[in-house]
Amino acid sequence: MNTIRVSFVMTAVWVLMLFSSASAQDRQVQSVPPVIKPQVTFVELGSNSCIPCRMMQPVMRAVESKFGTQLKVIFYDVSKDENRRYAELYSIRIIPTQVFLNTADKVFFRHEGFFSEAEITKLLKSQGLKPLKNN
- The reply to whether 18 falls in a domain is yes
- Give the pLDDT score at 23: 45
What is the rounded CA–CA span in Å between residue 129 and residue 123? 9
- Give the pLDDT score at 41: 98
Q: Are residues 49 and 26 in the same domain?
A: no
Blockwise average pLDDT, block size 10, the chain, 135 residues:
52 49 50 77 97 97 97 97 96 97 96 98 97 81
Q: Are residues 114 and 60 in the same domain?
A: yes
- Are 54 and 48 in contact by the 8 Å Cβ rule? The answer is yes
Q: Are residues 23 and 74 in the same domain?
A: no
Q: Are residues 51 and 94 in the same domain?
A: yes
- Give the pLDDT score at 11: 52
Domain count, the chain: 2
Q: Are residues 59 and 83 in the same domain?
A: yes
Q: Are residues 69 and 120 in the same domain?
A: yes
- The reply to whether 55 falls in a domain is yes
